[in-house]
């Protein structure tokens, strides 16, 4: 975050928060937005580089964000995520307010523990017990690019004989298909 952003951020938030008291039904334009650009030196390694250099997010609502190759694409993706959240009937926080992090349920994923242990070992070379996986976790949470996603999809098909190309990539759905496809109960 550059110095100008760091200085204007609180003013944007406070302005949007005060203005929010003039209405009770908020839209995307009512929320304070900030942009972050990941420069080349911010990338981990060239082989493991971030595929989306721009992030847009609603200030103080950190998990409401969008990524893109351009600033405009990141904003478009943020708006789509916001509109989807709103259309699902979730209560919107007041613009400018601090939104607490809420954790998704783990009820479903815990019922696939045996498959999850194998899946994370075989596909990601990671220990399932060292991770937080919720019912809403997806492959996207563990990958940095579309190339990595395609590689993991092929590996899942190779190891588990499960084709997930048309899925939404939720881990719990993949584990369910693995259980059904391999007869694990």
Q: Tens digit of pLDDT for each residue in 80-108?
A: 999 989 998 888 999 999 888 777 789 99
What mean pLDDT comes out for the span 3-21? Answer: 76
Token pair of 179 as six digits: 């259980």
Which candidate, 46, 50, 23, 24, places its Cα nearest to that of 38?
50
Which candidate, 86, 81, 79, 109, places its Cα nearest to that of 170?
109
Rounded to whole angstroms, the Cα distance separating 40 from 143 reads 18
For the cut 50, the answer to whether the pLDDT of residue 71 exceeds it is yes
Distance of CA 66 to CAs 50, 63, 116, 128, 138, Å?
A: 14, 9, 28, 27, 16
Sheet strands side by side (includes 33-37): 33-37, 54-58, 61-68
Q: Is 112 exposed, middle or buried (0-12, 13-18, 19+ CB in 10 A)?
A: buried
Token pair of 137 as six digits: 């976790």
Confidence of residue 48 (pLDDT cuts 50, 70, 90): very low
Residue 145 carries which DSSP code?
Answer: S
Angle between helices 171-182 and 113-124 (to 10 degrees): 100
CATH number at 3-87: 3.30.160
Alpha-carbon radius of gyration of the chain = 19
Q: How many C-beta neighbours within 10 Å does residue 171 have?
A: 25
pLDDT at 166 (0 to 100): 62
pLDDT in tens, 116-168: 999 999 999 999 999 989 988 888 888 877 788 889 999 999 999 988 876 67
Contact 16, 32 (CB under 8 A): yes
Q: Is 59 exposed, middle or buried (0-12, 13-18, 19+ CB in 10 A)?
A: buried
Token pair of 15 as six digits: 């302005």
The overall average pLDDT reported for the chain is: 84
Between 110 and 45, where is the model more confident?
110
Rounded to whole angstroms, the Cα distance separating 123 from 54 reads 28
For the cut 50, the answer to whether the pLDDT of residue 113 exceeds it is yes
């Amino acid at each position: 975050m550059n110095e100008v952003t760091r200085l204007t951020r609180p003013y944007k938030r406070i302005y949007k928060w005060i203005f929010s008291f003039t209405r009770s039904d908020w839209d995307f334009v009512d929320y304070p937005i900030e942009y972050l650009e990941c420069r080349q030196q911010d990338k981990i390694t060239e082989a493991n580089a971030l595929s989306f250099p721009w992030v847009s997010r609603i200030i103080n609502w950190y998990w409401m964000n969008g990524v893109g190759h351009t600033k405009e694409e990141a904003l478009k993706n943020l708006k789509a995520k916001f509109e989807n959240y709103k259309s699902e009937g979730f209560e919107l926080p007041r613009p400018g307010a601090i939104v607490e992090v809420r954790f998704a349920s783990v009820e479903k994923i815990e019922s696939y523990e045996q498959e999850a242990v194998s899946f994370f070992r075989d596909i990601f070379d990671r220990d399932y017990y060292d991770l937080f996986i919720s019912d809403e976790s997806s492959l996207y949470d563990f990958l940095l690019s579309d190339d990595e996603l395609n590689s993991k999809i092929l590996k899942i098909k190779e190891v588990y004989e499960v084709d997930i190309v048309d899925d939404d990539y939720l881990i719990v759905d993949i584990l369910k298909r693995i259980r059904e496809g391999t007869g694990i109960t």
